[in-house]
Structure 1
């Protein structure tokens, strides 16, 4: 790490040394105003302090002041490992964690649905926020090179390239289907209602062509996802194919293959020999 100037100049130490960060993806909030439902009004309570300094919710056995509407909340999924990387308020590479990723449903006083799985936009994109964080989980052992350079999630492209939540903008029905995906039963039920504006995974920040999908570090002018050029320089996904695409060429592969299989140490030794041979060839060509 210390021998790579770009790492030392542009990264927070905890970008690599943070062992984990809490990642709560999707904040599904329902506000239900039907049937006279009420809930604790935390703002009103906080502003109700009396001469003795106690607020309305101070006495034991009471939640204090209430207001119309009952709030409930669930989430889509949780993760802890290999947080996404982005840029913090000082312009340095840092871990990110989900901020308020609000997906709202509002039920009116008469029981009608006023909003269902609604996402609210910000100037940066969808209000599915990610924020720079110092997670205070630093350890001696840093993240591996692969956990950043060959991990689409770390680069901002989503867990496993964002493939797990594709299609959530449509209702999900799990039932018998034919070979073309058409449902066979005449009567089915929706297992997971659509989130119409969510056409990507909650862990995805950007596309590979540079479109920012969600808000990132919006409190800080320098905050945001990893810049396009940085992502392009960082990503080293699929490098195995640099050699192994030749495996289908029998005549070529006979020249480099050996009986049995190569373990990791043998692979590294072969790569070392290859780059040393390339260096020698380049030096000879430049004489």
Structure 2
């Protein structure tokens, strides 16, 4: 189909032609919805508290599910009942929510796909005598911390795909966290939102902890891998091929800071006067200038390469 669209020049936009034809690696290695999913639900941090103090009880859904009678109804079936209970009262909250373009990773078929937070369990357990047996405990897996990300088909596909920049210039898409993970790092320390100096020292004499420390969680929950390839959390652990984007793929993808390639020379007035024009260049003019620069570069190349893909 794409061959016919190309031959008949029926691509709707230049973006679509580049994404689906000019760069064949996209179609070879990516799910369509890796680009066309407009958003994915993202619930970061699953804070679960189990409280066994003061004889607390709660509905035991597993026991209920295994209690079906001859009529097929489970113990929680009759109207007005909550079924069978067991010791311990469960409660749950979260760190933060996002409904936006997701992290990218590899699914069970080895293709690039959206990821979304899976079970990012952070546990607190209160014993029968009221003592804290575990506080903000993270459980490890062979892959890393058990704050999981999972491959997903979010069923939010739209006609307009993600832009090139939303993947190639976006630390979150690459797996490095929202804005590179710099805003919500430091969970291993108590979070106090109050007046602070430039070094983060809290200035008021009295303050309140808004979020207690989570030991060993030294990065943002949206961060799954480091630029040097260290996997931080479990990713798609139920599929052998699942995981973060591979190191080589991330290095080939990332174009963060691309503007610096030209604008680092802007302070050189003599040089800049040769390329600048009166007024300013809009986005199309910038793209046209980059095209001319690449064409000029290609014209001066000594020989044709065969390993450029």
TM-score scaled to structure 1, two decimals?
0.95
Structure 1 residue aligned with 2:35: 16
1:149 aligns with 2:168: yes
Q: In the TM superposition, what are the counterparts of 1:76-91 in structure 2 within 5 Å?
A: 76-91=95-110
Mapped to 2, the partners of 1:286 and 1:176 lie a distance apart of: 61
Structure-1 residue corresponding to 2:20: 2
Matches of 2:254 and 2:215, distance apart in 1: 31
Q: Give 1:181 deviation, angstroms.
A: 4.2
Tell me which of 270, 274, 281 is aligned to 2:293. 274
In structure 2, which of residues 63, 74, 77 is the aligned counterpart of residue 58 of structure 1? 77
- Structure 1 equivalent of residue 239 of structure 2: 220
Q: TM-score, normalised by structure 2?
A: 0.89
Distance 1:6 1:134 in 2: 20
Aligned counterpart, 2:145:
126
C-alpha distance in 1 between matches for 2:96 and 2:163: 24
Structure 2: tracts of 5 or more residues without a match: 1-18, 305-309
Paired position in structure 2 for 1:44: 63
Deviations 1:57-84 (A, max 9, x none): 0010110000111111111111121111
Q: State yes or no: 1:262 paired with 2:281.
A: yes
Q: Does the 8 Å CA contact 2:57/2:86 hold for their aligned counterparts?
A: yes
Q: Which residue is equivalent to 2:8?
A: none
Deviation by residue 1:169-201 (Cα, 9 ceiling, x = unmatched): 101223344565444444332121111111001
Q: Tell me whether 1:171 sits opposite 2:163 in the alignment.
A: no
CA contact (8 A) 2:38 2:161 kept: yes
Structure 2 contact 177–223 (Cα < 8 Å) conserved? yes
Q: Which moved more, 1:182-191 or 1:132-141?
A: 182-191
Runs (5+) with no aligned partner, structure 1: none
Q: Which residue of 1 aligns with 2:9?
A: none
Q: Would the alpha carbon gap of residues 180 and 275 (structure 1) be closer, same or farther in structure 2, given more than 3 Å must change?
A: closer
Alignment size in residue pairs = 285
CA deviation map 1:123-181 (0-9, x unaligned): 00000101111111222221111111111111100010011111221012233445654
Superposition RMSD on alpha carbons, in Å?
1.5
